[in-house]
Chains A and B, each alone.
Chain A
Amino acid sequence: MTDSRPVIEIQNLAKAFGYLPVLKKINLTIQRGQFVALLGPNGSGKSTLLRLICGLSKPTVGTISVGGWSIPGEAEAIRAQIGFVSHKALLYNNLTAQENLAFYTRLYHLQNSASRIDLLLGQVGLSKRAHSLVRTFSRGMQQRLSIARALLHEPHVLLFDEPFTGLDQDAAVVLDNLLLEAYAEGHTILMTTHQLERAARLANRIVILSRGTIAYDSTDPLDALQLSTLYAEKTGAANAR
């Protein structure tokens, strides 16, 4: 599934908010087709790292390149390659599912947008609710629509920032399957989560952030118990399983 070409390269990355350092000297290379789970306690810098990679935030020092393009100079080229799903829906409540996706197809200047929207709504199981307002959707449905939005422009890289937050068990299983489908289609996935069992099952590489630095980075397969022990050891925190 993976090949050796790096798709995300981060070198000597640091980020501080005022005098508060959040990330310190991060070096990370992610190969095309990898599914990376980024773990760490609250405040360890996971979400900040994702926002830096997709250009929503600017690094204090260091460089980030995605698909050979660098931030911030070539941010627009990078944005065209990235799909971002957050624990927030990033959708408009007063628009229908179809209208939300249509709006983003216009921003991405996509051709054949109607067929693309139909296809994606079918993939995430929302065809029957295409003309329902997003404000009437459950949290799980909003998250599925959010994934459809992130996939609209066929990005190479998918960033998921705690996508399971607030989902019930059924919705989480649906999201699991969508993530595995995206991975099987060859997308490179970087996902932050607090759910260690899920990370061990879905990802083929585990990165643990602790106090703004990478405390662990390996492609060794781990089961949930091993990962839980490792997580506690590396972060000094109780496991989040």
Chain B
Amino acid sequence: MNTPFFSVVMAIIRKDLQAELRSRELVATMLLFALLSVLAFSFALELDRLAREEVVSGVLWVTVIFASLLGLNRSMSIERENDSIDAMLLTPIPRSAIFVGKLVGNYLFTATVGIALLPLMTILYNINMLNLWVIATLLLGTLGICITGTLLAAMTVQTRAREALLPIVMLPVVLPILLAAVKATTGIINNAPVSDWQTWPQVLLIVDIIYLVLCLLMFSYVIEE
């Protein structure tokens, strides 16, 4: 009776991409915020090269997290406009497929913004961020942010103070991701020995898997009354 899981996931991704290609409101807003944020940090941290090497990974991750907050809030608000989430819930589909569909859409948008930041930060901070390990860490960290963010945005979007509430509930939850991602990125861009930072991408991967399982289990309770 159920629509197959991956058909639902693909349908939701396609719908989100169609809507975004038309309106460009998610990626454009996130990208503009990220750009302004990185520029502001660049002016605020007019420091010597050594000091910049210490803080640049923090700048990257704080920017990615705050940009993702904008996108996650909007992505779930679109489902609440006109109560269209109700029409989706009325179809015979697995609830976890809605979560995965929304997660993949959010991930595509957030990862795009994160990767677009790397050449910009390379120029502004004069530190090479275009490194395969930095990109891999960025993809792993962004995945964790989007996993928790998709679930928490589905919760907070039902409240009146949704814009204020999402950062308050999400930032403590993504602290392990932020910690591991900053440690890994700092080690990579400072050309530290691999043994010094290789644990952190592994930690990121494990945290992502744990959060993914927990969020898949909890989503149907969050999305339904």
Q: Which residues 53-71 of A have a CB within 8 angstroms of B?
A: 54-58
Interface string of B76-110 (1 = CB under 8 A from A): 00100111101111111100000000000000000
Tell me whether A149 is interfacial, beta carbon within 8 Å: yes
Q: Number of residue pairs across A and B with beta carbons under 8 Å?
A: 83
- A89 CA to B82 CA, complexed, in Å: 5
Is B86 a contact of A56 with CB atoms below 8 Å?
A: yes
Is A91 a contact of B8 with CB atoms below 8 Å?
A: no
Is B7 a contact of A90 with CB atoms below 8 Å?
A: no
Tell me whether A106 is interfacial, beta carbon within 8 Å: yes
Interface string of A69-100 (1 = CB under 8 A from B): 00000001101101010101111111100010
Is B15 a contact of A95 with CB atoms below 8 Å?
A: yes
Is B87 a contact of A84 with CB atoms below 8 Å?
A: yes
- A57 CA to B8 CA, complexed, in Å: 22
Is A93 a contact of B82 with CB atoms below 8 Å?
A: yes
Q: In the complex, which residues of chain B have a beta carbon less than 8 angstroms from the beta carbon of A80?
A: 1, 92
Is A90 a contact of B84 with CB atoms below 8 Å?
A: yes
Q: In the complex, which residues of chain A have a beta carbon less than 8 angstroms from the beta carbon of B19?
A: 92, 94-95
Q: How many residues on chain B are close to A (CB under 8 Å)?
A: 29
Known: A56-B89, A84-B90. A109 touches B81 (CB 8 A): no
- A103 CA to B12 CA, complexed, in Å: 8
Where chain A touches its partner, the secondary structure class is: loop
Is A104 a contact of B92 with CB atoms below 8 Å?
A: no
Tell me whether B159 is interfacial, beta carbon within 8 Å: no
Minimum C-beta distance from A81 to chain B (A): 9
Of B7, B23, B225, the contact of A106 (CB 8 Å cutoff) = B7
Q: In the complex, which residues of chain A have a beta carbon less than 8 angstroms from the beta carbon of B83?
A: 86, 88-90
Known: A104-B91, A107-B3, A109-B7. A92 touches B86 (CB 8 A): no
- A109 CA to B84 CA, complexed, in Å: 18
Is B82 a contact of A91 with CB atoms below 8 Å?
A: yes
Tell me whether B2 is interfacial, beta carbon within 8 Å: yes
Minimum C-beta distance from A94 to chain B (A): 4
Is A103 a contact of B90 with CB atoms below 8 Å?
A: no
Nearest A-chain residue to B4, judged by Cβ:
A109
Known: A56-B225, A58-B225, A94-B22. A107 touches B84 (CB 8 A): no
Q: In the complex, which residues of chain B have a beta carbon less than 8 angstroms from the beta carbon of A92?
A: 15, 19, 78, 81-82, 84
17 A-B residue pairs with Cβ-Cβ distance under 8 Å, sorted by A, are: A54-B90, A76-B1, A79-B91, A79-B92, A80-B92, A82-B90, A88-B82, A89-B82, A91-B87, A93-B81, A94-B18, A94-B19, A95-B18, A95-B19, A106-B10, A107-B3, A107-B93
